[in-house]
A = this chain, B = another copy of it.
Amino acid sequence: MTQILGHNYIGGQRSAAGQLNLQSIDASTGEALPFDFFQATPEEVDAAAKAAAAAYPTYRSLSAERRAQFLDAIADELDALGDDFVAVVCRETALPAARIQGERGRTSGQMRLFAKVLRRGDFYGVRIDQALPERKPLPRPDLRQYRIGLGPVAVFGASNFPLAFSTAGGDTASALAAGCPVVFKAHSGHMATAERVADAIIRAAEKTGMPAGVFNMIYGGGVGEALVKHPAIQGVGFTGSLKGGRALCDMAAARAQPIPVFAEMSSINPVIVLPQALQARAESVARDLTASVVQGCGQFCTNPGLVIGIRSPQFSAFVQQVAGFIGDQPAQTMLNAGTLSSYGKGLKKLLAHPGIEHLAGQAQQGNQAQPQLFKADVSLLIKGDEVLQEEVFGPTTVFVEVADQAQLSAALNGLHGQLTATIIGEPADFAQFAELTPLLEQKVGRILLNGYPTGVEVCDSMVHGGPYPATSDARGTSVGTLAIDRFLRPVCFQNYPDSLLPDALKNGNPLRIQRLVDGQPSREAI
């Protein structure tokens, strides 16, 4: 097995100046793995942020093609991580090997997709208004706009996607694509995994001649606070809990120079099951919905945590069907002891609430998570009871029965911001419930018809975002190519001679990218 050093990654070097050693845990057995990780000292956090800042002027000025080569090289290195790597990830997360192999491909594919975006060039957002020297009363100067990377970005990975939302995940990929060096805070739940992935990134950086400091990684609890407060850091990507994400937002907003934080936090992902769909295919909906609830032990940001239907004998029967299916699902091992403990606490809150009834699931105990089903009174939604707004991360969902179509809208209006909402219906349902799409649009980042929210496609049109508290900024997405926009800002050149302009803005359009020229999209030279 490749050696795990456990040292921090700072400016292309490894550093272990601290005294505090951390250990990674086998998620299935609870045993410590035989690796030591060195918590970054305040000086090391400072050095990592400064290394990123030092790399920024060079890195952001590289051609998009050079950055694309770097991302492609990372993808190749990720694909080359072999069975021993998969075994380490499985031990740290209790996720099955097939899932990790799939996630590895998703993560390398994500890097290659951002390489494509760099070559496509639309991320530059080029806009050109040519001079109008004869305009009255005043001439118009030549004005040209493109976008550059914000500066060094701090990234906090997620426990539940040790590859795709972590060290080399979507936030890192989009920041690196944007021209922003990254300081990654390794997740305590999979530090050996993080080290192997960081090694892959560093190898790719060396092979493609990137500046030292383009990627840095630090270990440790509490080091993230110093990182977000560091003056060199210009943006933050985060995936995790509402509490953790909000704390980072508050720190970032209180800085002498506030910086943007893109935190993907808490979502209960309502699923609305409409009457005609229940008439037509209640059993298959019950089966597929259950599969979505328990998939990966329910450890997905888009796990359906709330199912809403209109009172009817069909809906009652449907609830019973789901209860039966949920009751048949086996317990599963969660990502780590902290996740299991949070799941237990979340279930206790639901069980203790007088407006919530437990419908199915073995009593939660031991070291695995038991799938659970609950039913809540609709008044909790309409009155905005916090218990239904909080994500319970794990294999559980809550059914809500509404009296009629009007109460359905009232209940949905009571929801906070969400990553997704799903409508299960037949054409007749869509005609009858036409108000749902515009209503849900105001609440979520993605609306699905007749699908399930788990399984987030990495593509141009994906939105993995949404109004607070799903994320801290509804204008961003953390999956899909639009994620690069979070880390870019526009710059305008006025009256620059062609020779001094960046390639993206030159008259000849040497990058052959699409540009908005005098209000018209164009790939032509000027």
Chain B min CB distance to A179 (Å) = 11
Chain B residues within 8 Å of A249, by CB: 253, 258
Residue in B120, B254, B451 whose CB lies within 8 Å of A519 = B120
| CB of A432 within 8 Å of the partner chain | no
- Which B residue's beta carbon lies closest to that of A486? B475
| CB of A459 within 8 Å of the partner chain | yes
- Which B residue's beta carbon lies closest to that of A140? B457
Q: Is the CB of A460 within 8 A of B494?
A: no
Residue in B260, B441, B451, B492 whose CB lies within 8 Å of A463 = B492
Q: Is the CB of A496 within 8 A of B143?
A: no
Chain B min CB distance to A203 (Å) = 28
Q: Is the CB of B490 within 8 A of A141?
A: no
| CB of A129 within 8 Å of the partner chain | yes
Q: Is the CB of A258 within 8 A of B468?
A: yes
Residue in B250, B492, B514 whose CB lies within 8 Å of A521 = B514
Residue in B57, B150, B253 whose CB lies within 8 Å of A474 = B150
9 closest cross-chain pairs (CB), A and B: A253-B253, A463-B492, A127-B461, A145-B461, A446-B492, A448-B494, A143-B461, A127-B460, A474-B489
Q: A143-B461, A449-B493 are in contact. List 16 more A-B contacts (CB 8 A).
A: A57-B438, A61-B438, A125-B482, A127-B461, A129-B459, A129-B461, A141-B451, A258-B468, A441-B491, A446-B491, A447-B494, A450-B495, A460-B516, A460-B519, A463-B492, A474-B489
Sampled A-B contacts (21; CB under 8 Å): A56-B442, A57-B438, A57-B442, A61-B438, A116-B519, A120-B519, A125-B482, A129-B462, A140-B459, A141-B451, A143-B462, A257-B416, A257-B417, A427-B497, A437-B500, A445-B491, A447-B492, A447-B496, A449-B493, A463-B490, A477-B490
